[in-house]
């Protein structure tokens, strides 16, 4: 694969997703809770970017299993209603994310029950100085490529706290088996690889990705993030049924712009039947104005497996789009420039 620009090995990072899930599961099984966690009534996942998406994915995976409400907070402050019955999971891969460190300080002031997930940095120091529990995860990856280490230890935390009662290890290991069975197809640039085929059809468009609220819509967001960071392409997402109450009407004027867009419908057999019906009708309505529409639904013996497969599929699509643009998928220069500018500003 040397014909593609990838000196930092993003392809390897994506290929190793299944292995990372297995390793992250081993880390999660060994979690030791030194502090007492009592009467948890709600959960706030604090993070940004690749660290925050782990919270979204767990919200999606546990939609029918979690015993308390969960929200993901991408901000400098957590909601005012948070209190000593709130579990705040502070997730920062680098340990130095400005917004996350601020939200952590806010959680301390609200007397929340706090747990951290990080590779180290200032976050681990502040957690240690406050005698708070945290999990150290492996460093050396781009945060977006460390997805397994973002969501899997968090799942085990919920399991150890009694917030979920599922066969967690079986679900994860079955997913690992499935992901390993498909990755050797997704790594080749040929017509037998559906991620390569889709990438060739969308890389010179702006993809608009749609999914079901609290289900595949979260994966649509992941696809957008990956296309932005890996492929250096703009991409956008929305969710059904809300899409049917506003955005669907926008696909009418500016036809010269619409012809440069593509639509990707993400679906799963666990989708509510009325949502599936809405998706099919919406596809038909847009067919008069959009030249490129694609429906992606993948195999797997359980919802858990299929949704993780759909995430993995999108990661490969973003990689192939980067290669088709002769773009190195790893650097995020604009993010680095922004952070550099921010460090020069007093906070």
pLDDT at 346 over 90: no
Residue 136 lies in a domain: yes
- Per DSSP, helices labelled H in the chain are 10-15, 17-29, 49-61, 98-109, 121-129, 147-160, 168-186, 194-202, 216-229, 255-258, 273-286, 303-324, 333-343
Query: Does one domain contain both 88 and 210?
Result: no
Query: Does one domain contain both 98 and 214?
Result: no
Compute the mean pLDDT over every residue in the chain, rounded to the nearest whole number: 97
pLDDT at 45 over 80: yes
pLDDT at 56 over 50: yes
Residue 310 lies in a domain: yes
Residue-wise pLDDT for 118-129, tens only, equals 999 999 999 999
44 torsion bin: left (phi>0), alpha (psi -120 to 50), beta (else): beta
Query: Does one domain contain both 213 and 162?
Result: no
Query: Does one domain contain both 225 and 156?
Result: no
Residue-wise pLDDT for 75-87, tens only, equals 999 999 999 999 9
Residue 2 lies in a domain: no
What average pLDDT does the segment 15-19 reach? 98
CA-wise closest residue to 71 among 55, 50, 82, 91: 55
CA-wise closest residue to 308 among 12, 82, 57, 76: 57
- 339 is annotated as an active-site residue: yes
Residue 26 lies in a domain: no
Query: Does one domain contain both 231 and 112?
Result: no
Query: Does one domain contain both 223 and 304?
Result: yes
Please tell me which residue in 99, 212, 229, 305 is annotated as part of the active site: 229
Domain end residue (candidates: 166, 197, 231): 166
Query: Does one domain contain both 215 and 319?
Result: yes
Residue-wise pLDDT for 209-256, tens only, equals 999 999 999 999 999 999 999 999 999 999 999 999 999 999 999 999
Please tell me which residue in 80, 245, 340, 346 is annotated as part of the active site: 245
Return the pLDDT at 343.
87
Print burial letters for 37-49: b (CB count within 10 Å at least 16), e (below 16): beebebbbbbbbb
Please state whether the predicted TM-score (pTM) of the whole model is above 0.95: yes
CA-wise closest residue to 184 among 195, 198, 175: 195
Total domains in the fold of the chain: 2
Q: How confident is the model at residue 1 (pLDDT cuts 50, 70, 90)?
A: very low
Token pair, residue 301, equals 């013996």
Residues 6+ apart with CB under 8 A from 232: 322, 325, 327
Q: What CATH number is attached to the domain comprising 270?
A: 3.40.50.10490
Mean pLDDT is lowest, of 24-28, 177-181, 265-269, 340-344, for 340-344
Please tell me which residue in 188, 291, 334, 339 is annotated as part of the active site: 339
Residue 175 lies in a domain: no
Query: Does one domain contain both 229 and 312?
Result: yes
Return the pLDDT at 7.
96
Return the pLDDT at 49.
96
Distance in angstroms (rounded) separating the CA atoms of residues 201 and 102: 42
- 245 is annotated as an active-site residue: yes
Residue 231 lies in a domain: yes
Find out whether 137 and 117 touch, Cβ atoms under 8 Å.
Answer: yes
Query: Does one domain contain both 128 and 199?
Result: no
Return the pLDDT at 345.
87
Residue-wise pLDDT for 261-315, tens only, equals 999 999 999 999 999 999 999 999 999 999 999 999 999 999 999 999 999 999 9
- 229 is annotated as an active-site residue: yes
Residue-wise pLDDT for 153-204, tens only, equals 999 999 999 999 999 999 999 999 999 999 999 999 999 999 999 999 999 9
> Percent of the chain at pLDDT above 90?
97
φ, ψ dihedrals at 214, nearest 5°: 60, 15
Domain end residue (candidates: 133, 166, 199): 166
Query: Does one domain contain both 65 and 110?
Result: yes
What average pLDDT does the segment 115-139 reach? 98
Residue 207 lies in a domain: yes
Print burial letters for 95-116: b (CB count within 10 Å at least 16), e (below 16): bebebbbbbbebbeebebbbbb
Q: How confident is the model at residue 347 (pLDDT cuts 50, 70, 90)?
A: low
Domain that holds residue 313: 185-324
Query: Does one domain contain both 208 and 319?
Result: yes
Token pair, residue 334, equals 């604009």
Residue 62 lies in a domain: yes
Return the pLDDT at 188.
97
Return the pLDDT at 148.
98
Query: Does one domain contain both 197 and 309?
Result: yes
């Amino acid at each position: 694969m040397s014909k593609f620009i990838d000196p930092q090995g993003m392809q390897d990072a994506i290929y190793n997703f299944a292995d990372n899930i297995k390793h992250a599961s081993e880390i999660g099984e060994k979690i030791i809770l030194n502090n007492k966690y009592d009467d948890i009534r709600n959960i706030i996942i604090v993070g940004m970017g690749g660290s925050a998406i782990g919270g979204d994915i767990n919200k999606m995976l546990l939609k029918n299993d979690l015993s308390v409400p969960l929200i993901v907070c991408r901000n400098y402050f957590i909601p005012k209603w948070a209190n000593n019955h709130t579990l705040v999971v502070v997730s920062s891969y680098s340990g130095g994310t400005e917004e996350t460190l601020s939200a952590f300080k806010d959680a301390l002031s609200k007397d929340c029950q706090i747990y951290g997930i990080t590779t180290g940095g200032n976050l681990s120091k502040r957690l240690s100085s406050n005698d708070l529990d945290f999990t150290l995860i492996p460093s050396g990856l781009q945060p977006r490529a460390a997805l397994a280490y973002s969501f899997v230890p968090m799942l085990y935390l919920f399991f150890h706290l009694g917030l979920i009662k599922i066969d967690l290890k079986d679900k994860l290991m079955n997913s690992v088996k499935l992901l390993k069975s498909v990755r050797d197809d997704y790594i080749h640039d040929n017509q037998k690889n559906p991620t390569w085929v889709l990438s060739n059809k969308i890389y010179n468009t702006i993809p608009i990705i749609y999914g079901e609220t609290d289900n595949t819509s979260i994966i649509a967001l992941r696809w957008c993030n990956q296309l932005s960071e890996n492929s250096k392409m703009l991409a956008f997402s929305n969710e059904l049924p809300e899409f049917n109450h506003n955005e669907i009407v926008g696909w009418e004027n500016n036809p010269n712009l619409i012809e440069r867009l593509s639509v990707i419908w993400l679906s799963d057999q666990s989708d509510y039947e009325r949502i599936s019906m809405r998706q099919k009708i919406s596809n038909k309505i847009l067919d008069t104005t959009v030249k490129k529409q694609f429906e992606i639904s993948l195999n797997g013996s359980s919802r858990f497996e299929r949704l993780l497969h759909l995430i993995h599929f999108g990661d490969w699509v973003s990689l192939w789009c980067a290669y088709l643009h002769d773009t190195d998928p790893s650097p995020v220069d604009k993010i680095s420039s922004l952070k550099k500018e921010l460090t020069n500003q007093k906070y």
